[in-house]
Amino acid sequence: MAKAYWITCYLEIKDKDRLAAYAKLAGPAIETGGGRFLARATAVQAFESGRLARTVLIEFASVQQAHAAHDSPAYQAALAALGDGAVRDLRIVEGL
């Protein structure tokens, strides 16, 4: 079974306090769901779109595990804490 990668790009951070509340809940929820953080930083360099957005890369054992972590009550609580505090693009992709 191929691994899965959860990729989140932060296009705009509107409320740093809400983002901090989200991060406090999201990290443990994702790790409990089997996720392993590989990167959490602002891009060092951006090509094409030119956006140096904060990007988070998380590895899961499978797409199903990533979906389950996203849909878990703990992660949903983190999303509720974030609310409209950030504009993000979140994707789950299957590894090769």
* Domains with residue ranges and CATH for the chain: 4-94 (3.30.70.100)
Helix boundaries (H) for the chain:
16-32, 63-71, 73-82
pLDDT at 1 over 90: no
Q: What is the pLDDT of residues 65-92, one digit of tens each?
A: 999 999 999 999 999 999 999 999 999 9
Count of C-beta atoms within a 10 Å radius of residue 91: 9
**Integer CA distances (angstroms), 71 to 18, 31, 64, 65, in order:** 20, 13, 10, 10
**Contact at 8 Å (CB) between 66 and 7?**
no
Residue recorded with tokens 């959860």: 6
Determine the pLDDT at residue 49.
Answer: 81
